[in-house]
Amino acid sequence: MKNLLVKTIANAGALAVAVWLLDKITLTGGSTGEKAGTLIVVALVFGLVNLLVKPVVKVLTFPLFILTLGLITLIVNALMLLLTSWVCGQLNLSFHVEGFWTAVLGGLIISIVSWALNLVLPDED
């Protein structure tokens, strides 16, 4: 349970950095508390998308992973971010990613920041 909390906080921090750095990834809302709450929910949605959909996509695109030496991971991460944006739109959350190339850059930022935060945050079960 603690591991899920740590990963959610890391994802929320990474999403916050992406929102801060990229103009076309938006998080609208009222107060800072509302935005933080929305970020936590978006991080949970992002985690669920990565848990449920990403492994299936990786298996289906395995030959492309070999062919591109793993660079297709950037595209898969972008698609997961776009799917998260769509799900958040369906849930009336104020998180939106505008455009594929913004999603590619956002996925790269989220991956780097998440990796760095997971190094710093404790990882215990």
pLDDT digit string, tens, across residues 19-47: 999 999 999 877 888 888 899 999 999 99
Determine the 3-state secondary structure of 124 from DSSP. coil
pTM, full prediction: 0.88
Residue at 62 is within a domain: yes
Q: State how far the Cα of 108 lies from the Cα of 111, in Å rounded to an integer.
A: 5
Q: Is 105 contained in some domain?
A: yes
* Encoded tokens for 25: 């990834």
Listed in sequence order, the residues at least 6 apart from 54 whose beta carbon sits closer than 8 Å to its beta carbon are 76, 80
Is 34 within the bounds of a domain? yes
Evaluate whether residue 9 is within a structural domain.
yes
Per the structure, the complete domain to which residue 82 belongs is given by 1-120
In a domain, 16, yes or no: yes
* 91 within some domain: yes
In contact, 65 and 73? CB cutoff 8 Å: yes
Number of domains in the chain: 1
Q: Does a structural domain hold residue 125?
A: no
Which is nearest to 95 in space by CA: 54, 41, 32?
Answer: 41
Handedness of CA 35, 40, 57, 106 (dihedral sign): positive
Which residues in the chain come in under a pLDDT of 70?
1-2, 123-125
27-23-119 Cα angle (round to 5): 70
- Please, what's the largest Cα pairwise distance for the chain? 46
How confident is the model at residue 35, as a pLDDT?
Answer: 87
Question: Has residue 54 been placed in a domain?
Answer: yes
